[in-house]
Amino acid sequence: MGGGSSKKKPQQGDVDQRQQNALAQQYPNDNPLVAAARVALNDPACTSRYTCPDTQPLGCGAYASVWRAIDVNDDTQWALKIIDKNHDKCDDKEMVNVRWEAEALRICDHKNVTHMREVFETNKGGGMNKGFFYLVMEVMDGGELFDRIIERK
């Protein structure tokens, strides 16, 4: 019997501490939210579907960041919103709200509402090992809506 090692196929949540440390060294100026998103972007649940070619997110919120993503199968571009379930502002009640929002976007088919392609989730990974919630949506050009409203005033 051979003494070779068998490599297991990466599973969701398998971004190990070595990878997290390497990302922290490569991007030392990241805020905690962006650093967590980089971990999520390297999770097999994400890399099996999308690549994210940019080094910085399109935008950040209280506990989520949005990245430009490219589908690995058809090269279409999407906005990938990554919600860090490990963030202290993202408790169980907030995740219920996030899931409701995702469901509302999924069933709403209107030209004035952002199209949501898919939602997926991991239950491992991140600082408290709670995982990440991913929303894949239509890319909307033009910047932040709030900024555009302020410009018009």
Residue 100 has pLDDT above 80, yes or no: yes
**Residue 130, token pair as written in the block:** 């709670």
pLDDT at 10: 55
The pTM score is: 0.80
Residue 70 has pLDDT above 70, yes or no: yes
Residue 144 has pLDDT above 80, yes or no: no
pLDDT at 20: 72
pLDDT at 69: 97
What is the rounded distance in angstroms from the CA atom of residue 126 to the CA atom of residue 31? 14
What is the rounded distance in angstroms from the CA atom of residue 15 to the CA atom of residue 44? 8
- Most confidently modeled range among 13-27, 33-47, 72-86, 99-113: 72-86
Residue 149 has pLDDT above 90, yes or no: no
Residue 109 has pLDDT above 80, yes or no: yes
Q: Give the CATH number of domain 17-152.
A: 3.30.200.20
Cα separation of the two ends of the chain:
75
Q: Which residues pair with 94 in a beta bridge?
A: none
User: Which whole number is the average pLDDT over 73-82?
Assistant: 97
In the chain, domain spans: 17-152
**C-alpha distances in angstroms, 129 versus 2, 12, 19?**
35, 11, 15
Q: Which helix (H) or strand (E) holds 133?
A: strand 132-137
Residue 8 has pLDDT above 60, yes or no: no
